[in-house]
Structures are given as C-alpha cells and as structure tokens.
Amino acid sequence: MVEKKKKGVIFLLIKARGIPIWIQCLEALLRLLPQNHRVIPDINRNLKYRRKGYNGEKSSDYYANLLDKTEFLILHDLSLFHNKLHFQIDTLILTTRFLLIIEIKCLEGELYFNHETGQLTVSHHQTVTGADNPLIQALNHCTQLKGWFRDRKMIEVPMEHLAIISNTQSVIRCSNYETARHVGTDKSLPLKVMELSKRYKKELLTEKEVKRIAKALKKVHSPQPINILGFYKLKPEELLNYIACPNCGYRPMVRFRGYWHCKICYVNSKDAHVGVISDHLLVKGNRITNLECRLILGIDSLKLANKMLTSMDLNREGKTKGRRYTLKLT
Ligand SMILES: [Zn+2]
C-alpha cells in the first residue's frame, strides 16, 4: 500500500489487480492433467477467453489510472460477501461525493444495449446472441454494496455504475441517451467518469472517511476458491501426482540429499514442490493435509512434508493430523 498525504487530497493506491483466480486454477489444472486428457481443449478455450478478459481489465486499469488521484480513489478486483452471496466488483472508484462501480467486459462485434429489456445483444459473424449485460451486473453490485453499507450503519453515498467495453474494435450502440452515458470503452473511461462526476457536487464524506471505507472494503475482500474439478466433472484421481522435472518433464522427481532429483536429465531442484503443492491447492478447493501432501509428492516422511508446508506461507486450520493448509488468496 502506498500512501502519501498531499494538501487536502487523497492519494492512496490501496488495491491493485492480481491474476484472476479462474486463470490461476485453469493453468494449475493444465499442469496436473495428462497431456491427452479429454478436457484439455475446453480448458484451453476457457483460458483464452479469461486471459482476453484479464487483458481488457488491465487495459482499463491503465486508463483509470489517468484519473486525478487527488480526487478518485481506485480499488481493483474486489470480492465481497453480502446477504449470503459473493459478488466481485471489477473496479470501484471512491470519492467524497459518490461511489462508482465499473464492470469491464471484452466483447467482439456490434453490441446493442437495450434499456427496456436490460438485454445486451452481440452481432458477430452474422449471428446475434445475448450476452451478460455488464450494466445490469454493475447495477446489481450497486444494490449489494448499498446493503453492505447499510448493514454496517455507514453513511449512504450515491452510487453510480459504468460498463466498459475493453475491445476497441467492437461497435457500441445504446437504445437511449441515458444508457449511453453509462457505457464506454477503456480509452473513454476517464472521460466517462468525469462526466458522471459532474452530477455530484455535494461533499458527503471527508477524505478520512473515504480512506476508512476503502480500508474496510479491502479488509473484507475475500476471493473464493473455484470448484474447478466440479466445473469440468473431473475426479481427483484423474490428476497426476508427483513432481515433474522442470527441465525435461519426466515424472516423478525423487528426493535425494535434500533436493528433488531427475533420473533422466540429472537436474536438481530445491523447491520444485512449491508449485506442485500450490497447483493441487488451487485445483482441489484450496485445502490440503499432511497426508495428502505426502501422496502428491511421493514421500513418506511426515516431518519433511510438515517442513515443506510450513515454509510455504499458507494459512493453517486445525491441529495435529487433521491440520489443513490453505493458500492465502488475494
Ligand atoms: Zn529431467
């Protein structure tokens, strides 16, 4: 966290965007499945789509960061929980006058936002399909965030919403002017924010309060593990155990004199287990016991597995045999 106080201004970079959990899980799953597994083409397709979305978000972040940081405090990729539901906000902008929720989508073709039906249709290669409408998503998130504020008896601040289409080649059409005010491209993001900002003149929060809200939101930010095995209808037994050699790919590497050793190319590695344990955690719902760790790595020593797990900066739950380790998701 970088914090610098200027005269009467907010300058606080409080939450950057990390690699989305979906991408991390899909990449981990690819490393744990045999190369000829039936779901690999599906995973690759999904990964391509998610990476495109992530690149769109990063591109939008670039333009969001052009905004005057003395006025706009920006939180990227926020996972919150309200009313028994998790929701994920792509970008939240906080000011002393209003809050703004931005949903970012990377869509190709001609997009039409219909304000009467709330539908977004996409015309591409002579086919017309419906798509998740980021405007409706942003509006729903506004309702959930308002509820989150109410539960904590925090001051009610007006909330605005904005949908950003990060693909510059797509053509955007809206059914009316009001809808068009809430839709833009990544490049037009600063302009759109400034335009919406003009509607809110009254200072409702102090800069201190804005910072306090941002800190409170960051504190409860809780990304959820994804049930990726369930998503692809896979059984844990289908995953490969043991460590693959980082040099030649041979599996298993064996433990020899404090190193992981490859019998084929003679490469040694001190920490090849770290990636493999992380991959299994990502794919298996983010929990692992000492016994599971030994099975994955192909080692017998409880003490060695314990040493490896405790050196990995994982969360720990429970005691002795039943102790579970989880990744600190950010
Ligand atoms: Zn090797």
Please indicate, yes or no, if residue 7 is contained in any of the structural domains. Answer: yes
For residue 241, the CA-to-ligand 1 centroid distance in Å is 16
Do residue 215 and residue 290 come from a single domain? Answer: no
Point out the domain boundary residue: 163, 185, 220.
220
Question: Same domain, yes or no, for 192 and 256?
Answer: no
Residues 6+ apart with CB under 8 A from 106: 52, 53, 55, 56, 165, 166, 167
Q: How far is the CA of 23 from the centre of ligand 1 (A)?
A: 27
Give me ligand 1 centre to Cα 307, in Å. Answer: 25
| Whole-number pLDDT of residue 298 | 95
Are residues 96 and 194 located together in one domain of the fold? yes
Q: Which residues contact 136 (CB under 8 A, 6 or more apart)?
A: 118
Domain-embedded: residue 232? no
Mean pLDDT by 10 residues, the chain (330 residues): 41 72 96 96 97 94 90 92 92 96 94 94 91 94 95 92 92 95 95 95 93 92 92 96 94 94 96 96 93 95 94 89 86
What the block records as the tokens of 158 is 């007006």
214 and 253, same domain (yes or no): no
Ligand 1 centroid distance, CA of 254 (Å)? 11
Distance 131 CA to ligand 1 centre (A): 46
Q: What is the CA(274)–ligand 1 centre distance, in A?
A: 17
Note whether residue 228 is domain-resident.
Answer: no
DSSP track, 179-215: HHHTEEETTTHHHHHHHHHTT--S--S-HHHHHHHHH
Expressed in percent and rounded to 5, the helix, strand and coil fractions of the chain are: 35, 25, 40
Q: Which two tokens stand for residue 320?
A: 């002795």
Instruction: Assess whether 216 and 245 both reside in one domain.
Output: no
Domain count, the chain: 2
Q: Are 28 and 124 in the same domain?
A: yes
Domain holding 321: CATH number? 1.10.10
Clarify whether residues 159 and 52 are in a common domain.
Answer: yes
User: Is residue 86 included in any domain, yes or no?
Assistant: yes
* DSSP assignment letter at 267: -
Please say whether the beta carbons of 78 and 140 come within 8 A.
no
CB 104, CB 164: distance < 8 Å:
yes
User: Domain check: are 175 and 268 in the same one?
Assistant: no
| 256, burial (CB in 10 Å: exposed 0-12, middle 13-18, buried 19+) | exposed
Residue 87 lies in a domain: yes
Cis bond before residue 252 (omega within 30° of 0): yes
- Ligand 1 centroid distance, CA of 249 (Å): 6
Note whether residue 230 is domain-resident: no
Cα of 246 from ligand 1 centre, angstroms:
7
How many angstroms does the Cα of residue 266 sit away from the middle of ligand 1?
6
- If asked whether residues 127 and 275 sit together in one domain, one would say no
Last residue of a domain, one of 187, 220, 253: 220
For residue 214, the CA-to-ligand 1 centroid distance in Å is: 48
Domain housing 26: 2-220
Q: Residue 273 Cα, ligand 1 centroid: separation in angstroms?
A: 15
pLDDT of 14 reads 63
For residue 7, give the amino acid letter: K
Measure 45 CA to ligand 1 centroid, in angstroms. 29
Residue 236 included in any domain: no
- Cα 83 to ligand 1 centroid, rounded to whole Å: 51
Q: Ligand 1 centroid to 39 CA: how many Å? A: 26
Same domain, 32 and 73: yes
The rounded Å distance from CA 151 to ligand 1 centre is 56
Long-range contacts formed by 270-277: CB under 8 A, 24+ apart: 272/243, 272/246, 273/243, 273/297, 273/308, 274/308, 274/312, 275/31, 276/242, 276/243, 276/244, 277/308, 277/309, 277/312
Cβ contacts of 198 within 8 Å, gap of 6 or more: none
Taking the centre of ligand 1 as the mean of its atom positions, its distance from the CA of residue 308, in whole angstroms, is 22
User: Which one-letter DSSP state was computed for residue 97?
Assistant: S
Task: Give the Cα separation of 1 and 36 in Å (integer).
Answer: 43
For 78, other C-beta atoms within 10 Å of its C-beta total 23
Domain check: are 183 and 275 in the same one? no
Is residue 185 domain-resident? yes
Q: What dihedral angle (degrees, nearest 10) is formed by the CA atoms of 307, 312, 318, 320?
A: -10
Shared domain for 34 and 112, answered yes or no, is yes
CA 1 / ligand 1 centre spacing (Å): 40
Ligand 1: centre distance to CA 243 (Å): 11
